[in-house]
Copies of this chain bind each other. A is one copy, B any other.
Amino acid sequence: MPARHEARKGRDGCRLLEAWHDQQVTLADLRTPAVLVDKARLLRNIDRMQAAADARGIRLRPHAKTHKSPVIARWQIDRGAVGICCAKLGEAEVFANAGIEDIRLPYPLNPSNADRLIALAARTHISFIVDHIGVANAWSRALAAAGVTIDVLVKVDVGFHRCGIDPDLATAVLFVQHIAALPALRLRGLLSHAGQSYHAASEVHLQEMASAEAHTLTALAAAARAGGVTIDELSAGATPTARFSLRQDGLTEYRPGNFVYFDRTQVGLGAATLDECALTVLARVVSKPAPDRVILDAGSKTLSSDGARGFQPIAGYGTVLDDDDLVIERLSEEHATVRVTRGETAKEPGDLVRILPNHACVVSNLVDQAWLVEGEEVSALPIAARGRIS
| Interface membership of A148, Cβ < 8 A | no
- Given A287-B131, A289-B164, A334-B88, answer yes or no on A113-B390 (Cβ-Cβ < 8 Å): no
Report the minimum CB–CB distance from A96 to chain B (whole Å): 12
| Interface membership of A90, Cβ < 8 A | yes
* Other-chain residue from B166, B298, B304, B337 in contact with A161 (beta carbon distance below 8 A): B337
| Interface membership of A187, Cβ < 8 A | no
- Of A31-39, A54-62, A177-185, A223-231, the one contacting chain B is A31-39
Could you tell me the distance between the alpha carbons of A110 and B351 in the complex, rounded to whole angstroms? 10
| Interface membership of A203, Cβ < 8 A | no
* Other-chain residue from B9, B286, B368 in contact with A108 (beta carbon distance below 8 A): B286
- Of A246-254, A319-327, A359-367, the one contacting chain B is A359-367
Closest residue of B by beta carbon distance from A110: B286
17 more CB-based (< 8 A) A-B contacts, given A11-B387, A33-B389:
A5-B115, A34-B390, A108-B295, A135-B287, A135-B350, A161-B289, A161-B337, A162-B335, A163-B335, A164-B289, A195-B332, A298-B389, A302-B389, A304-B304, A305-B305, A305-B306, A367-B389
Q: Are B132 and A287 in contact (CB under 8 A)?
A: yes
Q: In the complex, how many residues of chain A place their beta carbon closer than 8 angstroms to a beta carbon of chain B?
A: 70
Provide the residues of chain B in CB contact with A209, threshold 8 Å. none
- Given A31-B113, A350-B112, A362-B333, answer yes or no on A132-B165 (Cβ-Cβ < 8 Å): no
* Other-chain residue from B131, B161, B366, B389 in contact with A365 (beta carbon distance below 8 A): B366
Provide the residues of chain B in CB contact with A11, threshold 8 Å. 90, 387-388
* Other-chain residue from B134, B164, B334, B390 in contact with A107 (beta carbon distance below 8 A): B334
Provide the residues of chain B in CB contact with A138, threshold 8 Å. 350
Report the minimum CB–CB distance from A155 to chain B (whole Å): 8
Q: Are B387 and A366 in contact (CB under 8 A)?
A: yes
Q: Are B349 and A368 in contact (CB under 8 A)?
A: no
Give residues of chain A (180-210) contacting chain B, Cβ–Cβ below 8 Å. 195
Could you tell me the distance between the alpha carbons of A349 and B298 in the complex, rounded to whole angstroms? 39
* Other-chain residue from B110, B333, B334 in contact with A297 (beta carbon distance below 8 A): B110
Query: Which residues of A pack against B, CB within 8 Å?
Result: 5, 9, 11, 31-34, 65, 87-88, 90, 93, 107-113, 115-116, 131-132, 134-135, 138, 157, 161-166, 195, 284, 286-290, 293, 295, 297-298, 300-302, 304-307, 330, 332-335, 337, 348-350, 361-362, 365-368, 387-390
Provide the residues of chain B in CB contact with A361, threshold 8 Å. 333
Report the minimum CB–CB distance from A158 to chain B (whole Å): 12
Report the minimum CB–CB distance from A263 to chain B (whole Å): 13
Could you tell me the distance between the alpha carbons of A362 and B334 in the complex, rounded to whole angstroms? 11
Q: Could you jot down 29 A-B contacts, CB within 8 Å?
A: A5-B115, A11-B90, A32-B112, A88-B297, A108-B286, A108-B349, A110-B284, A110-B286, A110-B297, A110-B349, A110-B350, A112-B350, A132-B288, A132-B289, A134-B349, A135-B286, A138-B350, A157-B289, A161-B289, A161-B293, A162-B295, A162-B332, A163-B287, A164-B289, A300-B362, A304-B305, A333-B365, A334-B389, A366-B389
